[in-house]
Amino acid sequence: MMYYQDEVITELTVGEEYTVRQLRILLNETNNVLVISNSVQQFSESNGLKKVRVLNKIEAYAHRFDRHNDAYILPSSKSITYIVE
């Protein structure tokens, strides 16, 4: 996926609308970000102009378990989860 540097956003604002393309760029450029969508199954180029609204932003420690390595992954920093629709 190619894009210009001025297209890069580093965070989303609750209540604002963004295109699927903007979400893809955010996920590509930002660490510790997760986007959960009620309406878009895949953030693909074919629906890149579709707009979604940010419903909520959660900043918290994400605890994970890696079953492949049978290991608990201790979070070192908070992750940001955005709920969009």
- Asked if 54 and 37 touch (Cβ cutoff 8 Å), the reply is no
- What pLDDT score was predicted for residue 58? 98
pLDDT at 1 exceeding the cut of 90? no
Given pLDDT bands bounded at 50, 70 and 90, which one contains residue 73? very high
What's the domain range around 53? 5-84
- What rounded mean pLDDT belongs to the chain? 93
- What pLDDT score was predicted for residue 19? 94
- Total domains in the chain come to 1
Query: pLDDT tens-digit profile of 8-48?
Result: 999 999 999 999 999 999 999 999 999 999 888 888 888 87
Predicted model pTM: 0.86
> Positive or negative, the Cα torsion across 16, 19, 24, 25?
negative
- Asked if 51 and 21 touch (Cβ cutoff 8 Å), the reply is no
